[in-house]
Amino acid sequence: MTSASAQGVPQATASSSRDVKPPGWGSDELTAFIDAAHSNQYATFFRKWPATEKLVAIDAEFGKVTKTWVNPASEIVALLFVRCHGAFRTAAGLAMAGQAVETYVQCRSMLEYGAYAVHIHRDPPLGIVWLNRHQSPKQLAEQKDAFLHGKVAASVTAANQHAGKRFEDLYQRTIDFGGHPNERSVTGNTKMIEETDRRVMLAVLQHGDGPELEMALKTVAQCGMVALEMFQAVYSPKFELLGINAAMLELRKGL
């Protein structure tokens, strides 16, 4: 099993054409926004290197697993790992683009992929419950009940008490700052400008350098580490063999 970035596209072709913009790109508000996000990613990568270096290193530890995977014991858990890695990469990209609120949406997804994997690993029949979610209204209700947040969090804590505490703290942060449309996700990314005859409310979609960017980058790294800790409980021998356990001890410093 491995992960794919561009299915069916030769890597050399994808790489050589990545900076060639098609005609019309940037002439509308959507593609101009995407272009600005990409420029922000370049700037963040360079100017915030200690933080982005951490993200690059965490990503490499995820990659060690999928690059050497052959016949994983549970296909479901393995697929959840790959999707967790994908959510980490998306969260990192959004954070580096300055899209703070959207970063927390992906961080929540990242944590849930890891937690679901642990939950199923500890109780393998839950894999069938998860797969059969859409087979009938009864099975949908059974899946929802079996994967209630409290039950999933309990599995994470049972597997690793310290990771369980960090998982819950970070999960609630992602809920507050973007995973749900809660107050902090909206007001925390709004600027108020008082003018003579009016008040201007500016919703920030792309943050420049500042506390919002710093927090988003750090949260991605923290969630990535907790996700690795959860999968460590599932793949402990493999993590040890690949040197991931030792690398995690270093990566955890400062987080």
The letter for the amino acid at 66 is T
Which has the higher per-residue pLDDT, 155 or 189?
155
Q: Using CA atoms, how far apart are residues 130 and 83, in angstroms rounded to an integer? A: 15
- Residue among 76, 110, 70, 72 nearest 90 (CA): 110
- Residue among 141, 148, 142 nearest 112 (CA): 148
The letter for the amino acid at 57 is A
Domain ranges of the chain: 48-251
Per-residue model confidence as pLDDT tens digits over 189-237? 777 777 778 887 777 889 989 999 999 999 999 999 999 999 999 999 9
* pLDDT value for 3: 52
Residues above pLDDT 70, as percent of the chain = 93
Per-residue model confidence as pLDDT tens digits over 85-140? 999 999 999 999 999 999 999 999 999 999 999 999 999 999 999 999 999 999 99
**Band of pLDDT at residue 17, cut at 50, 70 and 90:** low
**Band of pLDDT at residue 34, cut at 50, 70 and 90:** very high
Q: How many CA atoms lie within 13 A of 167 on its CB side?
A: 30
* pLDDT value for 16: 47
* pLDDT value for 20: 85
As to burial, measured by CB atoms within 10 angstroms (0-12 exposed, 13-18 middle, 19+ buried), residue 111 is buried
| Contacts by 182-189, CB closer than 8 A, 24 or more apart | 185/101, 185/104, 188/212, 189/100, 189/101
* pLDDT value for 18: 63
* pLDDT value for 235: 94
The letter for the amino acid at 164 is G
As to burial, measured by CB atoms within 10 angstroms (0-12 exposed, 13-18 middle, 19+ buried), residue 122 is middle
CB 41 within 8 A of CB 97: yes
Which has the higher per-residue pLDDT, 180 or 15?
180
